[in-house]
Amino acid sequence: MCFIPFSPLSTCLFHKLLPQIPLKMCANSFHFQIDQLDSDDPTFQDFLQGTSQDLDINQESTHVDDDDDNVDNEVQFNEPLSTINPAPAKNHNQHNPHNPDLNKDENFPIWEKQTIAEMNRFRQTITSMREQLNMQEAGLSSMEEDYRERKERYHAFLNREDNDLSGIGSTGRRKNGVVDYDNDKFVWDASLKDNMTKVFGIKAFRLCQRGVCNANMDGRDIVVVMPTGGGKSLTYQLPAIMTTGVTLVLSPLISLITDQIMHLRNAGVEAVKITGSTPKSDQDNINARLGSMAAGAAAAGRDSNEKEIKLVYCTPEKIAKSKRFVALLQRLADAMKLARIVIDEAHCVSQLGHDFRPDYQKLHILRQLFPNVPIMALSATCPPLVLKDLLKVLRLGEIVPADNVPKSKNNPPNTVYFTSPLYRPNLCYQVLPKAAEGNKVYEEITAWILEKHREDSGIVYCLSKKDTEKVATELTKRGGIRTGVYHSERSDSEKEKLHWNWQKGVVKVVCATIAFGLGIDKGDVRFVIHHSLSKSLDGYYQESGRAGRDGKDSDCVIYYRPQDASTLSSMAMADKDGNTKLYAMLLFVQDLEQCRKIQFANYFSHTSNLSLTSWSTSSVSAHTPCGHCDNCTRPADSFEVKDVTVEAWQLLKIIQEVVRGGGNATLAKTAELARRTGGAGAGGGHGRKRGKKSSGGGKESVIMDLDAVCGGKVLLKKEDIETLLIELLLQRYLKEQYYSTAYSTVVYIQPGERSAMLTRFSNKEALATLSESMRLSCSFRITKKNPKGKSAETSSKKAKEKTGATAAASTLNLDDELEDSDVPEFCSGIDNHHNDDDNEHSIRKFNSTTTAAGKQKATSSMSLQKNIRAQQASKPTIISDDEGDVDGAFKDTGGNRFIDVGLNHESSDVDDWMDIVTTKPPPRKRRKIERGELSQEIDVIELSSDES
């Protein structure tokens, strides 16, 4: 509304000359409709030209009055009513002596000029006011829309069957001041379901999807932990299409983004991506569309038929690097058009997670830049420290469970935490023994696939790029299986082609490193095979979870042999908590008795904020065996639990002897040595004896005198010895020692902190005095009839009878023992981990459990808690070789003997050198091994001529 002071005379003249313009009288002003002030009107022109000379337009007194309902288009003459008396021309002149006398014709030219100038200024003012008002109108209509929506919700709430007026504040509020997003009724319920079916073709919510959608619709900060394939995408895509504005989704992989965009577009949802690979013209177009959303489409003059963008996908790198994009988001947020920010695979935020991405850490700016925009973090695995880190990095408030959210939003607002049962009953877990020879492994995997899933899609995860190619070739060669290879060195176009071929079923089996799979949305993956162990149980859960996303029965198989542990260990040592995580994985695969589901449940409920209920379903509790995994279905005669106290003592004695002589031994070589295989016969003397010269001339083999060292060879199969060695490692009777060279890391085993509990006995007969509780037992697979011809079942039963109580008692006893040590206490729950980062995984305890047959079996696995403590107590020593020579594996202890038994982790097929060389410390003139020969000769040491 304009207030322009006119002199009373001007008012009268104006009205007289332009009677078509309505003159309104207000309490103290006159109004002319500006619309009718047509500059082309001849009368108006006349007025301007000749008779309007007394208009006194004061530009500076013009102002906008937003409160007035008559908005604009009126000019107000804010003279008092009394002054419009026609008589007052004189008075006017008296009041305003500078005004010329209208009756004097000679003054007209001056007035004319002044008036025209004034009128032009007046017009400009009106134009600028119109613009301002248009913009305000746009803002007003969006506020009206918002208001209408809220009003509807409010009325709907009042009409709810179970409404409770004392809780009103927003939808879904209950009397006791909390919201239950999972169960309360909400005004958008019907529309949510409608859109889910119509747009996404999904008939019913599953897991916590409904609750998450409700919390999203209510503008909450949210953390969602749902299993892979659980349906996390729907929980933000559905609210996105139902709310005003755009949802920003940050996702780590371009392939994943492309996949999501494709699905959304097929569903008719307007989704776009802005990544480094988006062509500039596309980016400009998207930016322009978002810009017009921020400005209000009408104001920006965009095509009204153009669909509004509902989801924008980009990588975290884009946020970290593009100021222009961030500025655009800010404009959207200011215009209340940034509905929410979704962070997919949110565990990548944390360095403690298994997929850390540095650019995710920069996402802390989101809360700073957009304090009012809700943030949603999604993940499939989120251990407590990762969750804690995630909340910290993203500046999210304290978490509250989804069924008990305080109605008032605190500052900072609470984060609503959703978690779903991680147990997926359609996945059948199995650990199969892996043959020592590579060819046999390929043969077995091929046979397994052809027998179980001849026509199905699957993934074979391998440890190295080389392995992926080898396995793929072998599967095709041996079984005609159509395979593809995926690893980080494949080009983008190769990866894209493989994705396409796999989706279409042209490629049946993808042999890949773990780079493959994050976010792959292929529902009918019927099997996931691990050619080697995963580095952690979290990783394994995630990788294996890519099977059966459509809910149909699928297989998850690990081929395991203990030697792989060395390879993994050398890789894990560089990671924070790497060994702790690997040990959990080893406990999983070593266990032949406890249901896999229960193992997962125990692990995750202790290592993450996930309660055990995450592993229960509506029908079964977390500790009810799944009934279909290998351990639930394992025939009783296919494994035996043996008392291995003597064998453990022997192995420790051997390793002790190796170390005493200044040598090192790998797991594989210790197993060979213990069985007196790999070369010459037994010797006497100090337990070691010079063997025959090697054909190379400079090398010398020495075999340990097992009779002298440990009363004879260990009477177990090689693979059983390896299994036992892993068990001893997990129970701190052994520890690892790493030897790093420029090319690789070799893992040796050494006596651990608990070894003295056995090695203090001088001979195996003396072990008989060991109390039952101190004896050790271990489970072994039975692949053939045992040598004595007894049935495996009988022997197994006997063994169990003999050792069952022992194992349990041993566990207890060891726990007691540890109570006095100064190892920190372990606790569960996120809050208890504040000052105990290293203990993250130390709080799980594997219990013996009921098998499918309903029998309580003794387990040889001691409490993992103790294992972890062992880890902390005995941090591995890393010896580094400054020279970087491979042959630097030699360890000079200053004595006369030199023993080195090694394994190169880079090749699992290496026929490792296992000789023990007795000699004085050789002079440092050893042959430098070239890169090409590394895998074959890592531990070869050439002696000087005088010692040969």
Give residues in contact with ligand ATP (CB under 6 A): 202, 204-206, 209, 226, 228-234, 380, 519, 521, 523, 549
CB of 522 to ligand ATP, least distance (A): 9
Q: 260 or 859, CB closer to ligand ATP?
A: 260
Tell me the C-alpha distance between 882 and 245, whole Å.
59
Alpha-carbon dihedral sign for residues 582, 540, 446, 427: positive
Min dist. Cβ of residue 234 to ligand ATP (A) = 5
Q: Which is nearer to ligand ATP, 234 or 910 (CB)?
A: 234
Q: Which is nearer to ligand ATP, 171 or 228 (CB)?
A: 228
Closest distance of CB 379 from ligand ATP, Å: 8
Q: What is the distance in angstroms between the CA of the first residue and the CA of the last residue of the chain?
A: 109
Tell me the closest approach of the beta carbon of residue 459 to ligand ATP, in angstroms: 13
769: which DSSP letter?
G
SS3 at position 720: helix
Question: Which of 517, 922 has the CB closer to ligand ATP?
Answer: 517
Smallest gap from residue 542 Cβ to ligand ATP (A): 8
Cβ distance to ligand ATP smaller for residue 89 or 242: 242
Distance (Å) of CA 863 to CA 578, 613, 654, 870 = 19, 22, 26, 11
CB of 549 to ligand ATP, least distance (A): 5
What 3-state class would DSSP assign to 251?
A: coil
Q: How far is the CB of 518 from ligand ATP (least distance, A)?
A: 7
Closer to ligand ATP by CB, 47 or 541: give it: 541
SS in 3 state form for 138-165? Answer: HHHHHHHHHHHHHHHHHHHHHCCCCCCH
Q: Which residues contact 367 (CB under 8 A, 6 or more apart)?
A: 375, 394, 395, 396
CB of 702 to ligand ATP, least distance (A): 53
Place of tokens 């780590």: 252
Secondary structure of 76-99 as H, E, C letters = EECCCHHHHCCCCHHHHHHHCCCC
The two tokens of residue 249 are: 């989704």
Instruction: Give whichever of 356 and 743 is closer to ligand ATP, judged by the CB atom.
Output: 356
Q: Is 309 in contact with 290 (CB distance < 8 Å)?
A: yes
Instruction: Report the sign of the C-alpha dihedral through residues 48, 53, 59, 61, in that order.
Output: negative
| Closest to 843 measured CA to CA, from 620, 540, 606, 513 | 606
Smallest gap from Cβ 382 to ligand ATP, in A, equals 12
Q: Comparing C-alpha atoms, which of 604, 615, 507, 542 is closest to residue 840?
A: 604
- Closest CB to ligand ATP among 199 and 335? 199
Q: How many CB atoms lie within 10 A of CB 254?
A: 19
The closest of 919, 808, 918, 943 to 863, measured between CA atoms, is: 808
Whose Cβ is closer to ligand ATP: residue 55's or residue 256's?
256
* Shortest Cβ 712–ligand ATP spacing (Å): 53
To which H or E segment does residue 21 belong? none
Residue 46 in 3-state DSSP?
Answer: helix
**What would you report as the CA-atom Rg of the chain, rounded to the nearest whole angstrom?**
40
CB of 230 to ligand ATP, least distance (A): 4
What's the closest the beta carbon of residue 420 comes to ligand ATP, in angstroms?
Answer: 9
Identity of the residue, 8 or 519, whose beta carbon is nearer to ligand ATP in the bound complex: 519
Q: How far is CA 214 from the centre of its chain?
A: 23
Q: How far is the CB of 189 from ligand ATP (least distance, A)?
A: 15
Q: Which residue lies nearer to ligand ATP by CB, 228 or 414?
A: 228
Which residue number, 167 or 425, has a Cβ lying nearer to ligand ATP? 425
Residue nearest to ligand ATP (CB): 231
Where does residue 828 rank: exposed (0-12), middle (13-18), buried (19+ CB within 10 A)? middle
Strand partners, 739: 746, 879
Q: In what order do the strands lie in the sheet with 74-77?
A: 2-3, 74-77, 30-33, 23-25
Beta partners for residue 737, in sequence order:
748, 877
Smallest CA-to-CA distance from 864 within 586, 592, 601 is with: 586
Cβ 481 to ligand ATP, closest distance in Å? 24
- The smaller minimum CB distance to ligand ATP, of residues 88 and 230, is found at 230
Label residue 351 exposed, middle or buried (CB < 10 Å: 0-12, 13-18, 19+): middle
Mention every residue, 6+ apart, whose C-beta is less than 8 A from residue 369: 326, 329, 330, 333
Q: What is the SS3 string spanning 539-592?
A: HHHHHHCCCCCCCCCEEEEEEECCHHHHHHHHHHCCCCCHHHHHHHHHHHHHCC
CB of 228 to ligand ATP, least distance (A): 4
Nearest approach, Cβ of 498 to ligand ATP (angstroms)? 18
Q: In the structure encoding, which two tokens stand for residue 353, read together?
A: 């997670």
Q: What's the min distance (Å) between Cβ of 619 and ligand ATP? A: 18
Reference 58, options 118, 101, 120, 144; nearest CA is 118
Instruction: Provide, rounded to whole angstroms, the least separation between the CB of residue 812 and ligand ATP.
Output: 40
Q: In this complex, which beta carbon is closest to ligand ATP, that of residue 201 or of residue 854?
A: 201
Across 28-52, b (16+ Cβ under 10 Å) vs e yields ebbbbebeebeeebeebeebbeebb
What is the rounded distance in angstroms from the CA atom of residue 829 to the CA atom of residue 611?
9
Whichever of 41 and 524 has its CB closer to ligand ATP, that residue is 524
Nearer to ligand ATP, 37 or 196 (CB): 196
Nearer Cβ to ligand ATP, position 226 or 668? 226
CB closer to ligand ATP out of 87 and 204: 204
